[in-house]
Homo-oligomer: A and B are copies of this chain.
Amino acid sequence: MSEIADRIKVIAFDVFGTVVDWHGSVAREVAEMKLDADPDEFALAWRAGYQPAMAEVMRKGEWVILDDLHRRILDRILQDFKLDDMRETQRRHLNRVWHRLDPWPDSVEGLTRLKSRYIVCSLSNGNIGLLTDMAKHAGLPWDCILSAENFNKYKPHPDTYRGVARTFAAEPAEVMLAAAHHGDLEAARNCGLETAYIERPWEYGRGQAKKVAPWDANSLHATSIVDLAEQLGC
């Protein structure tokens, strides 16, 4: 453990679900807008379009930033929810809810403590502008914002994980990915990165607890970002 703490130089964080509560934040804004839709279901439907939209971008070999993918999905689910009379200005405002996501209660303290010893950056499929607005909104003290947009590839493409190491002139084994998703961590591990799983049982809302059991393959397993900081002696 302390061997890992001494070796790594950079901790890259997945953001949606790991650092910020997308479900709670999206559902709350949907509720505040008094849309004729169940906020929980609306948030889940929007997020459900996320992986397929990125996979399509990667398959086509084009590059489209996440703000634009979020908008395509939004337009489709507004139809599904029979809300397609929503005006353009309201659609634009709602689409930017992803720039206004709130952090989990431990995120700011955990990142701040980890910064004392490591380079702490994002590695998110969110575009740079989105992540910058979110950092200002949520007070996330990134040393550096890295995004799929830096590499023109979405996670789990290897270029993204290797790109973090290359950006900081580090070996892959000197970089740790921290995420609440085992698939993301597995892809990072396959590129030689260390991995830390962060438990986020309420990522999909209070209606359904996510399984947060440890996988042996991960280097570390933490109940929160503050717990990760504790484990790394920060």
Contacts and interface: CB of A to CB of B under 8 A. Distances in A.
A94 to B, nearest CB: 15
Given A67-B169, A169-B67, A135 B143 contact: yes
| A interface: dominant SS | helix
A128 interface: yes
Interface residues of A, number: 21
Nearest to A169: B129
Interface in A147-174: 149-150, 167-169
Contact of A129 (B115, B131, B149, B167): B167
Contact of A119 (B115, B121, B136, B150): B136
Interface string A115-159: 100010100000111011101100000011110011000000000
Q: State the number of copies, please.
A: 2
A144 B122 CA distance: 11
A121 B133 CA distance: 12
Interface in A40-78: 67
A144 B145 contact: yes
A132 B128 contact: no
A211 to B, nearest CB: 35
Contact of A132 (B133, B149, B168): B168
Contacts of A133: 119
Contacts of A131: 144
Contacts of A167: 127-129, 149
A119 B144 contact: no
Contact of A121 (B132, B143, B168): B132
Highest count of chain B CB atoms <10 Å: which of A115, A132, A143, A150: A132
Given A132-B143, A135-B144, 9 more contacts: A115-B136, A119-B133, A119-B136, A128-B167, A129-B167, A132-B144, A132-B168, A135-B143, A149-B167
25 contacts: A67-B169, A115-B136, A119-B132, A119-B133, A119-B136, A121-B132, A127-B167, A128-B144, A128-B146, A128-B150, A128-B167, A129-B167, A129-B168, A129-B169, A131-B144, A132-B143, A132-B144, A132-B168, A135-B143, A135-B144, A136-B143, A144-B145, A145-B145, A149-B167, A150-B150
